[in-house]
């Protein structure tokens, strides 16, 4: 649905001229990132598609949150593509609805 070249184009359109993906708006855990451990951060549900070309970025974000002692739940759908949640015919879309509901219920208990 989204090629890596298209994703690159969107980032270039979003970021200030001359910036790359290490800009803090695109790479919140990159070289210019602030010190997250002191920041208040909500419980987070991170969804990663196993066939999403941006999967590695999602996993790096997950690891950064964990290393920063933030509460983060990871749900990975091994066969999911980028934007799979927008295609209700895909099985993973209905699984996502269930998993998000479970996460919300968990948050309400805290």
Shared domain for 17 and 69, answered yes or no, is no
CA 37 to chain centre: 19
Provide CB contacts within 8 A for 103, sequence distance 6+: 43, 45, 73
**Is the pTM here over 0.85, yes or no?**
no
107 within 8 A of 98, measured Cβ to Cβ: no
68 within 8 A of 59, measured Cβ to Cβ: no
- Per-residue pLDDT, averaged over 18-44, amounts to 77
pLDDT tens by residue, 56-110: 989 999 998 898 889 999 999 999 998 899 998 989 999 999 999 999 999 999 7
H or E element, residue 91: helix 91-109
Provide CB contacts within 8 A for 1, sequence distance 6+: 81, 82, 83
Shared domain for 46 and 74, answered yes or no, is yes
In angstroms, the CA 61 to CA 57 distance is: 6
Shared domain for 65 and 21, answered yes or no, is no
- Per-residue pLDDT, averaged over 40-53, amounts to 92
Percent of the chain scoring above 70 in pLDDT: 93
Shared domain for 16 and 61, answered yes or no, is no
**What would the two tokens of residue 108 be?**
């309400």
Range of the domain at 75: 41-110
Shared domain for 7 and 29, answered yes or no, is yes
């Amino acid at each position: 649905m989204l090629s890596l070249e298209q994703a690159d184009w969107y980032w270039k359109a979003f970021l200030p001229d001359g910036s790359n993906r290490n800009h803090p708006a695109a790479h919140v855990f990159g070289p210019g990132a602030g010190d997250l451990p002191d920041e208040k951060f909500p419980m987070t549900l991170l969804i990663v598609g196993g066939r999403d070309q941006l999967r590695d970025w999602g996993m790096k974000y997950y690891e950064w949150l964990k290393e920063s002692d933030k509460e983060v739940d990871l749900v990975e759908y091994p066969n999911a593509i980028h934007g799979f949640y927008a295609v209700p015919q895909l099985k993973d879309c209905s699984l996502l609805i269930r998993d998000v509901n479970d996460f919300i219920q968990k948050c309400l208990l805290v």
